[in-house]
Chains A and B, each alone.
Chain A
Amino acid sequence: MADEGNKVVDALRETGFFKPKKMYDGGKVIVGIIILFALVAFPFLYNVGKAAKAPEPEIDTPAIKKLSKAERVCVEPRPYMKVNHMKLLTDWRDQVVRQAKRDYVGFTKKTYTMSLQNTCLECHSNYDNFCNRCHTYSGITPHCWTCHVNKPKEWAAGKLKEEK
């Protein structure tokens, strides 16, 4: 009677039950590893065969072309504007809306009116080829345009037509 347990073990040994396994539940584990790999590799696989070019905002609008070379500057130096324009716009908004201050002295000591539509978009009238280039590339959706109009002249012309 005592040998019955050993007999079971012997029978199992013959079937290869005790052979050192590579992995227990190997199928499930491999599925798990594939899921892990897919998650990590997602950005790699997503971009395969796509040559992503860096966006280049265009600064050749009529208003800018009219300016002489020396005058072709923004309110602050270009590297500053590239990185901090959103901060500047927030500051402008706060000063205009909360303190009724509308004058901004740029780095060239020239005074500008703090206004997105009337000052910024005066020169940068090409929303699609200027603002949107980098914003689309970086996946940024600024909420400026929930209130402001990004093409004021076209918008005004459209309104006039409607009224007629």
Chain B
Amino acid sequence: MGFNLACYFSLFAVIVLVLVPFVGAAAGWHVIFGIVIPYLAGFIFLAGLIYRIVKWARTPVPYRIPTTCGQNRSLPWIRRSLRDKLENPENTIHVIGRMALEVLFFRSLFRNLRTELRPWREYPEGGRLLYWSTKWLWIGAIAFHYSFLVVLSRHLKFFTEPVPFFVPFVESVDSFFQIYVPAVYMSGIVLLAALIYLLVRRIADPKLHYLSLAADYFPLFLILGIGISGVLMRYFFKVDIVAVKQLAVALVTFHPTVPEGIGVIFYIHLFLVSTLLAYFPSSKLVHMAGIFFSMTRNMAGNNRAIRHINPWEYPVRVFSYMDQENMFRKQMKAAGIPLEKDTEE
């Protein structure tokens, strides 16, 4: 347990990011924080993601990487279950199945194992090596990602006029318990709880703490800041929602205007979101696009059925036995080693 420099640095970076719009909005720079920065951030987000995707797509992948967690396609009498087909796919359809499991259900996190040396009564001087399945990270990740998706889809109501049909539906499910006015959204609570778990996990576990960098802490603090500012805005420090929607609709219709009288908490929220968008393509968060380029997931394990040629220019310099004999014929003959071809005879 403890904080390291990376953790402190990320925390203070986010605090500064909160203070910037706090000061800026108080100074009246609403056009900068309400229009210029969001547009800039949106542009960096989209252009940056496309740049990363094209860069990845141009990188050759030399090998198919077969995964050994499922029976590969082999002789016809070796049975393969659906599980084997999904774990060790042989064609595109199965690959799509494996990718869907990965993208929608985080299959590789589900597989997470923990190795632990436990004291053992029958062998007191040593211990017993245990491998056990840990699902905590998987649960945290699922809770975080899906609640974030729900929160994101709910926000469409600010950007669309009229609001598309699925947004009220998502909202009504999300505020099912009808606690308080405005109704408390479950996704908000789950999002913050999952983020706090993911953060505490990095701080409390010494091994993870040792592994974690500023690039791991910063997104957590940043999204936590976004979540907290959003919750504060909805339930505590109210802002004029109609004005907020006017601003959002003005942004997406390219008629940017800043309505008067939106509280500073809104500009903090918007600035943190803009930071997240601009930071996205250059951070570990690009796994949103990168997951589709994971070559242990997106290639069929058909090495034995189809010949794959390394797409790199790779002229192999071959030094055959005959090359060796040609080079050392004299010496070999002197040593009495039998030759394939004796030129002196």
CB within 8 Å of B: which residues of A? 1-3, 5-6, 9, 12, 17-18, 21-26, 29, 32-33, 36-37, 40, 42-44, 46-48, 50-52, 54-55, 79, 82-84, 86-87, 89-90, 134, 136-144
Contact = CB atoms under 8 A, between A and B. Distances in A.
B14 to A, nearest CB: 25
27 contacts: A1-B320, A6-B315, A9-B315, A12-B309, A17-B311, A18-B311, A18-B313, A22-B58, A23-B58, A24-B61, A29-B54, A32-B289, A33-B54, A43-B156, A44-B254, A46-B160, A54-B242, A55-B242, A83-B238, A138-B158, A138-B241, A140-B182, A140-B241, A141-B171, A141-B172, A142-B182, A143-B183
Contact of A87 (B181, B245, B253, B314): B181
A138 B259 CA distance: 15
Interface string B147-190: 00000000011111111100110011000001011110000000
B256 to A, nearest CB: 13
A90 B322 CA distance: 93
Contacts of A2: 318, 320, 322-323
A47 B159 contact: yes
A47 B178 contact: no
B76 interface: no
B228 interface: no
Counting contact residues on chain B (CB < 8 A from A), the size range is 35 or more
B218 interface: no
Contact of B160 (A37, A43, A55, A89): A43
Contact of A36 (B42, B49, B239, B261): B49
Contacts of B271: none
A143 B313 contact: no
Contacts of B239: 83
Contacts of A32: 53, 289, 292
Interface of B: 42, 45-46, 49-50, 53-54, 57-61, 156-164, 167-168, 171-172, 178, 180-183, 238-242, 245-246, 249, 252-254, 259, 261, 263, 289, 292, 309, 311, 313-316, 318, 320, 322-323
A47 B168 contact: no
Contacts of A6: 315-316, 318
| Chain A interface main SS type | helix
Given A6-B316, A36-B289, A90-B181, A139 B157 contact: yes
Given A32-B53, A46-B160, A54 B246 contact: yes
B309 A46 contact: no
Q: Which 7 A-B pairs have the closest CB atoms?
A: A139-B157, A43-B159, A139-B163, A2-B320, A23-B57, A52-B161, A29-B57
A109 B162 CA distance: 40
A17 B311 CA distance: 8
A140 B320 CA distance: 78
Given A6-B318, A24-B58, A142 B181 contact: yes
A86 B318 CA distance: 80
A36 B290 CA distance: 13
A33 B57 CA distance: 11
Nearest to B238: A83
Contacts of A138: 157-158, 241-242, 245
Given A36-B49, A36-B289, A47 B249 contact: yes
Contact of B60 (A24, A29, A42): A24
A52 B289 contact: no
A24 B311 contact: yes
Contact of B309 (A17, A50, A136, A144): A17
Contacts of B245: 137-138
Contacts of B246: 52, 54
A143 B323 CA distance: 87
Contacts of A37: 46, 50
Contacts of B58: 21-24
Contacts of B60: 21, 24
A36 B227 CA distance: 24
Given A23-B57, A24-B311, A139-B168, 19 more contacts: A2-B323, A3-B318, A9-B315, A9-B316, A18-B311, A21-B311, A23-B58, A36-B46, A40-B45, A44-B254, A46-B164, A47-B160, A47-B252, A52-B249, A52-B253, A90-B180, A137-B242, A137-B245, A143-B181
